[in-house]
Chains A and B, each alone.
Chain A
Protein backbone atom coordinates (compact mmCIF):
# COMPACT_ATOMS: atom_id res chain seq x y z
CA UNK A 1 0.00 0.00 0.00
CA UNK A 2 0.86 3.66 -0.17
CA UNK A 3 3.33 5.10 2.36
CA UNK A 4 3.69 8.86 2.82
CA UNK A 5 6.61 10.38 4.68
CA UNK A 6 6.59 14.00 5.78
CA UNK A 7 9.43 16.26 6.95
CA UNK A 8 10.14 18.08 9.12
CA UNK A 9 7.97 17.07 12.05
CA UNK A 10 8.32 20.55 13.58
CA UNK A 11 9.18 23.84 11.96
CA UNK A 12 9.62 27.23 13.55
CA UNK A 13 9.95 30.40 11.47
CA UNK A 14 9.91 34.11 12.06
CA UNK A 15 6.89 36.05 10.88
CA UNK A 16 7.38 37.10 7.28
CA UNK A 17 9.77 34.26 6.45
CA UNK A 18 8.92 31.34 4.15
CA UNK A 19 8.13 27.80 5.28
CA UNK A 20 8.61 24.62 3.25
CA UNK A 21 7.23 21.19 4.12
CA UNK A 22 8.21 18.14 2.08
CA UNK A 23 6.51 14.80 1.48
CA UNK A 24 7.45 11.65 -0.38
CA UNK A 25 5.16 8.86 -1.48
CA UNK A 26 5.80 5.28 -2.51
CA UNK A 27 3.00 4.32 -4.92
CA UNK A 28 3.52 5.69 -8.43
CA UNK A 29 -0.23 5.18 -9.09
CA UNK A 30 -1.12 7.97 -6.64
CA UNK A 31 -2.46 10.90 -8.62
CA UNK A 32 -4.04 13.31 -6.14
CA UNK A 33 -2.12 15.18 -3.44
CA UNK A 34 -4.04 17.37 -0.97
CA UNK A 35 -2.66 19.41 1.90
CA UNK A 36 -4.63 19.94 5.11
CA UNK A 37 -4.23 22.43 7.94
CA UNK A 38 -5.35 21.46 11.44
CA UNK A 39 -5.54 24.04 14.18
CA UNK A 40 -5.47 22.86 17.78
CA UNK A 41 -8.61 20.91 18.67
CA UNK A 42 -10.21 21.48 15.26
CA UNK A 43 -10.89 19.43 12.15
CA UNK A 44 -8.35 19.21 9.31
CA UNK A 45 -9.24 21.59 6.50
CA UNK A 46 -8.10 21.44 2.90
CA UNK A 47 -5.84 24.35 1.97
CA UNK A 48 -4.56 23.34 -1.46
CA UNK A 49 -4.35 20.26 -3.66
CA UNK A 50 -2.59 19.17 -6.84
CA UNK A 51 -3.14 16.42 -9.38
CA UNK A 52 -0.46 14.38 -11.08
CA UNK A 53 -0.91 16.09 -14.44
CA UNK A 54 0.21 19.43 -12.93
CA UNK A 55 3.67 20.36 -11.67
CA UNK A 56 2.83 23.40 -9.60
CA UNK A 57 -0.20 25.18 -8.18
CA UNK A 58 -0.42 28.48 -6.38
CA UNK A 59 -3.08 30.17 -4.25
CA UNK A 60 -2.02 33.53 -2.84
CA UNK A 61 0.73 32.83 -0.27
CA UNK A 62 0.50 29.05 -0.63
CA UNK A 63 2.00 26.92 -3.39
CA UNK A 64 2.48 23.22 -3.94
CA UNK A 65 4.99 21.57 -6.27
CA UNK A 66 4.99 17.97 -7.46
CA UNK A 67 7.84 15.90 -8.88
CA UNK A 68 6.31 12.65 -10.16
CA UNK A 69 9.63 11.16 -11.19
CA UNK A 70 11.09 11.56 -7.73
CA UNK A 71 7.72 10.93 -6.06
CA UNK A 72 7.84 13.94 -3.83
CA UNK A 73 5.75 17.05 -3.35
CA UNK A 74 6.16 20.16 -1.24
CA UNK A 75 4.11 22.89 0.38
CA UNK A 76 5.48 26.42 0.30
CA UNK A 77 4.08 29.20 2.46
CA UNK A 78 5.45 32.68 1.86
CA UNK A 79 5.21 35.75 4.08
CA UNK A 80 4.16 33.63 7.03
CA UNK A 81 1.81 35.06 9.63
CA UNK A 82 1.10 33.97 13.23
CA UNK A 83 -2.28 32.59 12.11
CA UNK A 84 -0.41 30.13 9.87
CA UNK A 85 0.65 28.31 13.05
CA UNK A 86 -0.96 24.86 12.94
CA UNK A 87 -0.25 21.24 12.04
CA UNK A 88 -0.06 20.58 8.31
CA UNK A 89 -0.68 17.17 6.74
CA UNK A 90 0.12 16.00 3.26
CA UNK A 91 -1.68 13.09 1.65
CA UNK A 92 -1.47 10.93 -1.47
CA UNK A 93 -4.48 9.27 -3.05
CA UNK A 94 -5.68 7.17 -5.95
CA UNK A 95 -9.34 6.16 -6.40
CA UNK A 96 -10.12 7.50 -2.92
CA UNK A 97 -7.47 5.36 -1.23
CA UNK A 98 -5.83 8.22 0.65
CA UNK A 99 -2.87 8.00 3.02
CA UNK A 100 -1.60 10.83 5.19
CA UNK A 101 1.81 11.95 6.33
CA UNK A 102 2.56 12.21 10.05
CA UNK A 103 2.17 15.97 10.07
CA UNK A 104 4.34 19.06 10.55
CA UNK A 105 3.79 21.40 13.45
CA UNK A 106 4.49 24.90 12.13
CA UNK A 107 5.06 27.73 14.58
CA UNK A 108 5.28 31.29 13.31
CA UNK A 109 6.89 33.61 15.82
CA UNK A 110 5.73 37.23 15.77
Chain B
Protein backbone atom coordinates (compact mmCIF):
# COMPACT_ATOMS: atom_id res chain seq x y z
CA UNK B 1 0.00 0.00 0.00
CA UNK B 2 1.39 3.38 -0.95
CA UNK B 3 0.06 4.75 2.34
CA UNK B 4 2.78 3.15 4.49
CA UNK B 5 6.39 4.14 3.95
CA UNK B 6 9.30 2.38 5.57
CA UNK B 7 12.85 3.64 5.38
CA UNK B 8 15.56 2.84 4.75
CA UNK B 9 15.10 -0.22 2.55
CA UNK B 10 18.48 -1.63 3.64
CA UNK B 11 20.31 -0.91 6.88
CA UNK B 12 23.58 -2.10 8.32
CA UNK B 13 24.37 -2.07 12.01
CA UNK B 14 27.76 -2.11 13.65
CA UNK B 15 28.29 -3.96 16.91
CA UNK B 16 27.18 -1.90 19.91
CA UNK B 17 25.21 0.51 17.76
CA UNK B 18 21.55 1.45 18.02
CA UNK B 19 19.68 1.93 14.76
CA UNK B 20 16.23 3.34 14.08
CA UNK B 21 13.82 2.16 11.43
CA UNK B 22 11.25 4.63 10.20
CA UNK B 23 7.56 3.93 9.54
CA UNK B 24 5.14 6.60 8.37
CA UNK B 25 1.52 6.19 7.29
CA UNK B 26 -1.00 8.59 5.76
CA UNK B 27 -3.99 6.26 6.03
CA UNK B 28 -5.27 7.92 9.20
CA UNK B 29 -5.01 4.56 10.99
CA UNK B 30 -4.95 4.52 14.78
CA UNK B 31 -3.11 1.23 15.17
CA UNK B 32 0.44 0.50 14.06
CA UNK B 33 2.64 -2.58 14.38
CA UNK B 34 6.19 -3.81 13.98
CA UNK B 35 6.99 -7.35 12.91
CA UNK B 36 10.18 -9.26 12.46
CA UNK B 37 10.37 -11.82 9.66
CA UNK B 38 12.97 -14.58 9.68
CA UNK B 39 13.03 -17.41 7.11
CA UNK B 40 10.58 -20.15 8.05
CA UNK B 41 9.20 -18.31 11.08
CA UNK B 42 6.50 -16.11 9.66
CA UNK B 43 5.76 -12.72 11.19
CA UNK B 44 6.56 -12.22 14.84
CA UNK B 45 5.12 -9.22 16.64
CA UNK B 46 7.67 -6.88 18.26
CA UNK B 47 5.55 -3.93 19.43
CA UNK B 48 2.17 -2.46 18.65
CA UNK B 49 0.36 0.78 19.33
CA UNK B 50 -3.39 1.26 19.30
CA UNK B 51 -3.29 5.00 19.93
CA UNK B 52 -0.88 7.92 20.16
CA UNK B 53 1.38 7.93 23.23
CA UNK B 54 0.55 4.32 24.03
CA UNK B 55 2.19 1.06 22.96
CA UNK B 56 2.48 -2.54 24.13
CA UNK B 57 5.11 -5.23 23.89
CA UNK B 58 4.55 -8.06 21.47
CA UNK B 59 6.03 -11.52 21.61
CA UNK B 60 9.68 -10.57 20.99
CA UNK B 61 10.13 -7.04 22.38
CA UNK B 62 13.47 -7.61 24.11
CA UNK B 63 16.22 -5.51 22.53
CA UNK B 64 13.78 -3.18 20.78
CA UNK B 65 12.11 0.11 21.67
CA UNK B 66 9.42 2.25 20.05
CA UNK B 67 7.71 5.59 20.41
CA UNK B 68 4.35 6.88 19.19
CA UNK B 69 4.39 10.66 19.49
CA UNK B 70 2.37 11.21 16.33
CA UNK B 71 -0.46 9.25 14.79
CA UNK B 72 1.40 9.00 11.49
CA UNK B 73 4.72 7.75 12.82
CA UNK B 74 5.89 4.65 14.71
CA UNK B 75 9.71 4.38 14.65
CA UNK B 76 11.45 1.22 15.85
CA UNK B 77 14.88 1.32 17.49
CA UNK B 78 16.96 -1.84 17.40
CA UNK B 79 19.27 -1.51 20.39
CA UNK B 80 22.66 -3.05 21.00
CA UNK B 81 20.91 -5.41 23.41
CA UNK B 82 19.39 -7.22 20.42
CA UNK B 83 22.17 -9.69 19.70
CA UNK B 84 20.69 -11.17 16.55
CA UNK B 85 19.11 -8.27 14.69
CA UNK B 86 19.58 -9.57 11.15
CA UNK B 87 16.06 -9.90 9.73
CA UNK B 88 13.42 -8.32 7.54
CA UNK B 89 11.34 -5.79 9.50
CA UNK B 90 7.78 -5.00 8.49
CA UNK B 91 5.62 -2.16 9.71
CA UNK B 92 1.84 -2.32 9.42
CA UNK B 93 -1.19 -0.23 10.30
CA UNK B 94 -4.91 -0.79 10.65
CA UNK B 95 -8.13 0.82 11.72
CA UNK B 96 -8.68 0.27 15.43
CA UNK B 97 -11.91 -1.61 16.08
CA UNK B 98 -14.22 0.16 18.47
CA UNK B 99 -16.28 -2.95 19.19
CA UNK B 100 -15.77 -6.70 19.18
CA UNK B 101 -16.09 -8.45 15.81
CA UNK B 102 -14.94 -5.34 13.97
CA UNK B 103 -11.28 -6.17 13.39
CA UNK B 104 -9.81 -4.83 10.17
CA UNK B 105 -6.96 -6.09 7.98
CA UNK B 106 -3.46 -4.80 8.46
CA UNK B 107 -1.73 -2.92 5.66
CA UNK B 108 2.00 -3.41 5.32
CA UNK B 109 4.96 -1.31 4.25
CA UNK B 110 7.70 -2.58 1.93
CA UNK B 111 9.99 -3.51 4.79
CA UNK B 112 13.53 -2.79 5.94
CA UNK B 113 16.24 -5.40 5.68
CA UNK B 114 18.69 -5.08 8.57
CA UNK B 115 22.09 -6.74 8.56
CA UNK B 116 25.10 -6.73 10.85
CA UNK B 117 28.38 -5.35 9.56
B100 touches A44 (CB 8 A): no
B103 interfacial by beta-carbon distance below 8 Å: yes
CB B25 to nearest CB in A, in angstroms, measures 13
| B86-117 near A? 1/0 per residue, CB < 8 Å | 00001000101100110111111111000000
Report the contact-size class of chain A (Cβ under 8 Å from the partner).
Answer: 20 to 34
B16 interfacial by beta-carbon distance below 8 Å: no
Q: List A1-24 residues whose CB lies under 8 Å from chain B.
A: 1, 6, 9
Query: With A42-B110, A44-B108 in contact, is A100–B101 under 8 Å at CB?
Result: no
CB A47 to nearest CB in B, in angstroms, measures 10
Q: List A61-110 residues whose CB lies under 8 Å from chain B.
A: 89, 93-96, 98-103
- In the complex formed, the residue of B with least CB distance to A101 is B42
- In the complex formed, the residue of A with least CB distance to B31 is A96
A43 touches B103 (CB 8 A): no
Contacts of A31 in B (CB 8 A): 100-101, 103
Q: Which of the residues B42, B96, B97, B107 comes within 8 Å of A89, measured between beta carbons?
A: B42
Query: With A31-B100, A51-B101, A94-B100 in contact, is A43–B108 under 8 Å at CB?
Result: yes
Q: Which of the residues B31, B33, B42, B90 comes within 8 Å of A43, measured between beta carbons?
A: B90
B40 touches A9 (CB 8 A): yes
* Distance of A43 Cα from B40 Cα, bound (Å): 16
Contacts of B103 in A (CB 8 A): 31-32, 51, 93-96, 98
CB B104 to nearest CB in A, in angstroms, measures 8
Q: Which of the residues A1, A6, A42 comes within 8 Å of B42, measured between beta carbons?
A: A6
A-B contact list, 13 entries, CB within 8 Å: A9-B40, A31-B103, A42-B110, A43-B111, A45-B108, A46-B106, A51-B101, A52-B101, A94-B103, A95-B100, A96-B31, A98-B33, A100-B42
